[in-house]
Structures are given as C-alpha cells and as structure tokens.
Amino acid sequence: MGRIRKKQNAIELIKEYSWLKQNSDDIRFNNNPIYLEIGTGKGEFILTNAKKFPNINFFGIEKDTTIVWKALKKISASNEKLNNLFIINDDVIRINDWLGDFKVSKIYINFPDPWFKKRHSQNRLTSLKFLSLYNDILLPNCEIELKTDNQNLFEFSIDNINESKKFIIVYLTKDLYKDNKMLQQNILTEYEERFVKQNKQIFKIIFRKCN
C-alpha cells in the first residue's frame, strides 16, 4: 500500500476538527443505527456513506494519527454538515470503551493490513480474537463486510469465520468487479481505486452474526 509519511504534529492538528471524538463522553449517538468502519483510511468511504445515508450514524476508528488527520481534512474539505459522522483515533481492540452500551448494526473492514507473516496472524482483523470482539459489539443478524486485495487474507478469513461458529457467510467472491449486481452498491475506498487501476482482484466476504 505504500508507507504513509508521518505528520509530526498530527496529534494536535486532529483536535481542530469537530468530527474527532476525544473521549467516550464526547460521543452522542441518536437512536439511528450505528455503522462502524474499522480503519478509515483517508476517509473517502465513510464520508461518501455519511452523505448518502444521513439517517445512519457512521463511526470510524483508525489507530494511525496521520491517517486520521488526512481523513478529517478530506471530510472538512467536503463542506458538508455531517452530524452523523464520528471519528476516533484508537485501536479497535478498545472499541468497547468507546461504544459503552451501544451496539452496532454493521461493520466494514476495508483493505486491512494482511500481516503476511504467520507469526503475526493474530493481528489480522479476521482472526478469532477479533471475531469474538465483533460478536460482542454487533447486534444479532447483522453483517460484517470485508474487502481485500490479498487472497491469503481472504482464505484465512473464510476459515476463521467458519471456525468461530458465531457467524455465517452470506456472500463471497474472488473478483468483485465481475459481479455487476454487487458493484451497483459498491463504494470505493482510496486503496480500492488504486488496486482496480492496477487490475488487481478484489475479494469480498459478507458474513452475518448468528442469533
């Protein structure tokens, strides 16, 4: 994906933006559904969704402060008054500290770090550890969508989803861009746009939490 050049004062710069929530008391969800994006990237995906679906709360978590700054800059440049968009700078492993008693209705995992080495496999966002976390925060019968350009992560995810017994796969494809029906509702991320231009396959899985 390429190395992101760190912005030295990003931790101070991000505080200028109202969409950044600095502690759990700063978050005021309404009664609308909460959709969580894990790893916001530069913000294109969550921004597009928040504009398109004003009656859904879009909640993005990203642990890299420089990337959070880039996402917030993009959101600000859109000149949109988005009261349904919340961004936090943290690791998803602490998501329960932010959500409190709230549960989410959908989770998006877009092009996560594949953690190529086997010894790092528990860091993958579809490892059993993380699937257990998602099971805790997701409402029954609600879905998680994963997109990746990495076939090993795709296959690893399928194995863990099946092993977990907490979810059921409802859709999968090894080449999203050959599925015209699914593409009609697809929203690109910055990485995805780059990968498509490189003619890379885009893998996708949708899996649903069991009752």
Q: What are phi and psi of 34, to 5 degrees?
A: -110, 120
Cα distances (angstroms) measured from residue 8 to each of 12, 17, 125, 151: 9, 17, 27, 34
Any idea what DSSP says for residue 20?
B
* Catalytic residue of the set 113, 136, 149, 159: 113
Extract the tokens encoding 34.
């909460």
Extract the tokens encoding 124.
């993958």
Quote the Cα angle for 73-130-96, to 5°.
Answer: 65
Decide if 136 is catalytic. no
Active site positions, annotated: 113
